[in-house]
């Protein structure tokens, strides 16, 4: 793939993300405006739960989904609290839920896998038909065996996507972790997607992840239903390659 092909392929796979402490109604409006460009729209915006209603109003009719995060970023909340977060987000109009699995339980061993599984099963039930992306925090798990175990737990608990990272720990997405997780997606026995998130900022790096997905899951597997990039700055890089600076405005909704 040349860089133009990579950019064209990547843009509709993007979960345009803003999870900053300083986010507000104005930054949310700006994020939603950027999501619809002159060369197409991104897959979703991903933002804090409190901004879901605004984003939903802003993006109605655009084809852009609204995603939010729960049990974020530490993955340490009790299941009942996370279930409540999910219920509130769905009531506010969220289409997709990115839930941090209790990855510390995986790292602890001694029954931790089952504790993580029970937690995610409760989240799955709360999500209903909404897309559930499970964040493994692969940078914290670090060891290939732990990443593989976390992926297996998430798949068994009903994850629709395996996602690498929150972006809140020093190590984000890596190709090594992606290989393990994509292999788990391929071998799941049902449709499970993959989301690379954390530190992907340029088109060339995006191309490396697409090539890896093609290698492991097949050249026709990647689509917005099966593959996402979670990023903020990547969109500007894509638009630069595609020769599109300005974005098309949409109703702000605040």
Residue 251 lies in a domain: no
Residue 11 lies in a domain: yes
State the chain's mean pLDDT as an integer. 95
Residue 252 lies in a domain: no
What residue numbers bound the domain in which 85 lies? 3-241
Residue 21 lies in a domain: yes
Beta pairing class for 36-37 and 40-41: antiparallel
> Active-site residue among 163, 187, 214, 220?
163
Dist. CA 62–CA 222, nearest whole Å: 22
> Active-site residue among 195, 214, 220, 236?
195
Residue 157 lies in a domain: yes
pLDDT tens per residue, range 197-235? 999 999 999 999 999 999 999 999 999 999 999 999 999
Residue 254 lies in a domain: no
One-character DSSP codes across the chain: --HHHHHHHHGGGEEEEE--TT--HHHHHHHHHHTEETTEE-SEEEE-GGGHHHHHHHHTTSS-EEEEEESTTTS-S-HHHHHHHHHHHHHTT-SEEEEE--HHHHHH-TTHHHHHHHHHHHHHHHHTTSEEEEE--HHHH-SHHHHHHHHHHHHHTT-SEEE---S-SS----HHHHHHHHHHHHTSSS--EEEEESS--SHHHHHHHHHHHHHHH-TT--STTTEEEEESTHHHHHHHHTT--SB-------
Dist. CA 143–CA 26, nearest whole Å: 40
98 carries an active-site annotation? yes
Residue 253 lies in a domain: no
Q: What is the pLDDT of residue 245?
A: 61
Q: Over pLDDT 70: what percentage of the chain?
A: 96
Tokens for 184? 């788990």
Supply the pTM of this predicted model. Answer: 0.95
Closest by CA to 165, choosing from 133, 137, 193, 142, is 137
> Active-site residue among 15, 95, 98, 160?
98
pLDDT tens per residue, range 121-153? 999 999 999 999 999 999 999 999 999 999 999
pLDDT above 50 (res 252): no
In this structure, what CATH number is given to the domain that contains residue 42?
3.20.20.70
Number of domains comprising the chain: 1
Confirm if 119 and 126 have CB atoms less than 8 A apart. Answer: no
195 carries an active-site annotation? yes
Q: What is the pLDDT of residue 46?
A: 98
Residue 246 lies in a domain: no
């Amino acid at each position: 793939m040349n860089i133009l092909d990579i950019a064209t392929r990547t843009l509709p796979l993007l979960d345009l993300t803003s999870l900053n402490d300083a986010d507000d109604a104005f930054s949310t409006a700006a994020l939603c405006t950027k999501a619809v460009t002159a060369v197409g729209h991104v897959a979703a915006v991903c933002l804090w739960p409190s901004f879901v209603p605004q984003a939903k109003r802003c993006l109605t009719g655009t084809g852009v989904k609204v995603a939010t995060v729960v049990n974020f970023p530490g993955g340490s909340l009790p299941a009942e609290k996370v279930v409540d977060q999910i219920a509130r987000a769905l009531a506010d109009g969220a289409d997709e839920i990115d839930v941090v699995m209790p990855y510390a339980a995986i790292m602890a061993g001694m029954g931790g896998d089952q504790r993580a599984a029970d937690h995610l099963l409760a989240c799955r039930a709360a999500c209903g038909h909404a897309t559930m992306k499970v964040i493994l925090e692969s940078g914290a798990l670090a060891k290939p065996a732990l990443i593989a175990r976390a992926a297996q737990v998430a798949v068994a608990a009903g994850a629709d996507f395996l996602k690498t990272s929150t972006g809140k720990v020093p190590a984000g997405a890596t190709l090594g972790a992606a290989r393990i997780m994509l292999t788990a997606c391929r071998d799941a026995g049902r449709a499970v997607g993959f989301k690379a998130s954390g530190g992907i900022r340029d088109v060339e790096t995006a191309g490396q992840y697409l090539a890896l997905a093609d290698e492991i899951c097949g050249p026709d597997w990647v689509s917005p239903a099966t593959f996402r990039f979670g990023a903020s700055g990547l969109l500007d890089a894509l638009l630069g390659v595609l020769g599109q600076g300005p974005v098309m405005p949409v109703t702000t909704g605040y």
